[in-house]
Each structure stands twice: as C-alpha cells, then as structure tokens.
C-alpha cells in the first residue's frame, strides 16, 4: 500500500542530499500518550540513510493515522549546510530552488517505495517540531487504479550534523484530518525531541 502506513517514507525528504553521509549518532525520541500505540515494523530498509526511531499508530483516529520518526547523518555537502535548525528551515523555505529540491526529493523517494502511484504535493512552510525547526511538505497519493488515496505531512530538519524527519500519514481517504485527530497529532509532535 502506498506510503506503507508511513514505513515506505524512510528515505523521503532530504535523503538525496545525504548519500555520502559521515558516521554520526543521530537520535530522535517521542513520548506518545495513550492515544498512540506502537506499530510493528512491516518492512526493512537496510540501505536507508535515516534510521527508524519510532513508528506509531493513533488508536482512535478515523481515518487511520500513522507517525514515523527517523534520524540519520547528513551529507557534508548539505545544501544550505552552514545553517541549522530554524535558520536552515527558513532558508530552505525562502529559496525557491531549495524548496523545489526538497519537494522533488520527497516525491522521488516516496515514488520509489510506492511504484504505480500518482503523487502530488507542495512545501507548506516552517514549523518547530519538538526542539528543532523543520520544513513541512504535504503529499497526496493515489494508488491501485485510484482506489486507495492517502495523505501525509512530512517535516524535515537539520541540526548541523544529522537529518531528522517526522512523517504523519492518514487514509485511506482523500480527506483532511478531523479537529480531534489534528489535535492528537499536534500533541504528539510537541513531544518529539532530536539531538546527538
């Protein structure tokens, strides 16, 4: 299934920028409340640059909502790599070339893990997730002859050495999250922490 309940998104985001990454201990954590449960790892990506830190599913959300938190070393040639955190996120968002590069990287990565799907999306802005500024990207995917539609929000951040990504996916439905589900997601995102 496209976006594999967020598992197929491990390589999404700015991964295209991190192919020659140096070894780093990149860590990301999340403190879910009772609304979230652990989701079993339904696929492995041994060559993925970003390591899965946490995979969760919202127990009472309709449509189903999943969250995937990943972290990994950034390339020494990271675009705008002289900036970090919120400064990096704002610079990526402000620069049309960087913004488009990030979007294309997310779309390309997701398409490679979801062959046969149609993807569309856009960079939505800058957000503070946990303790790091991140660039937001929204994606919609139609798969299986347009019978399955999923939506997602992807947040990519950089701290000078590591890349972090938070991926929230919901569906199957071509709909926005309900106010209750949106608040459940916001509460979870506030509990994310990144660092080395």
Q: Would residue 120 count as lying in a domain?
A: yes
Q: Would residue 182 count as lying in a domain?
A: yes
Q: Would residue 113 count as lying in a domain?
A: yes
Domain around 136: 2-39+51-79+86-195
Taking only the tens place, the pLDDT of each residue in 136-171 is 999 998 887 767 788 999 999 999 999 999 999 998
DSSP assigned state of 12: -
Ramachandran bin of 85, using left for φ above 0, alpha for ψ from -120 to 50, beta for the remaining angles = left
CATH of the domain at 170: 3.40.1000.10
Please name every residue paired with 118 in a beta bridge, in sequence order, or none if there are none.
142
Q: Would residue 46 count as lying in a domain?
A: no
Contacts of 131 (CB under 8 A, 6+ apart): 193, 194, 195
Average pLDDT over residues 2-8: 39
Nearest to 66 by CA among 102, 42, 44: 42
Taking CA atoms, 97 is separated from 20, 47, 80, 127, 184, in Å, by: 21, 27, 11, 19, 33
Under DSSP, is residue 196 helix (H, G, I), strand (E, B) or coil? coil
Taking only the tens place, the pLDDT of each residue in 19-41 is 333 445 899 999 999 999 997 76
Q: Would residue 44 count as lying in a domain?
A: no
Taking only the tens place, the pLDDT of each residue in 102-135 is 999 888 878 877 778 889 999 999 999 978 999 9
Q: Would residue 91 count as lying in a domain?
A: yes
* Lookup result for tokens 């491990």: 10
* Lookup result for tokens 């992807």: 154
The number of domains in the chain is: 1
Q: Would residue 45 count as lying in a domain?
A: no
DSSP assigned state of 114: S
């Amino acid at each position: 299934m496209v976006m594999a309940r967020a598992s197929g998104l491990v390589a999404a985001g700015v991964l295209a920028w991190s192919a020659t990454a140096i070894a780093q201990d990149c860590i990301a954590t999340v403190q879910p409340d009772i609304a979230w449960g652990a989701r079993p790892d339904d696929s492995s990506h041994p060559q993925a640059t970003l390591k899965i830190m946490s995979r969760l599913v919202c127990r009472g959300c309709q449509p189903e909502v999943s969250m995937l938190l990943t972290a990994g070393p950034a390339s020494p040639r990271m675009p705008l790599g002289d900036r970090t955190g919120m400064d990096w996120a704002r610079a990526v968002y402000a620069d049309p070339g960087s913004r488009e590069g990030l979007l294309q990287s997310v779309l390309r990565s997701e398409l490679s893990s979801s062959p046969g799907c149609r993807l569309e999306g856009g960079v939505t802005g800058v957000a503070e997730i946990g303790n790091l500024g991140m660039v937001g990207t929204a994606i919609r995917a139609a798969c299986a002859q347009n019978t399955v539609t999923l939506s997602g929000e992807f947040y990519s951040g950089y701290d000078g050495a590591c890349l972090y990504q938070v991926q929230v996916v919901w569906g199957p439905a071509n709909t926005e999250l309900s106010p209750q589900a949106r608040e459940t997601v916001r509460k979870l995102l506030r509990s994310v922490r990144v660092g080395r």
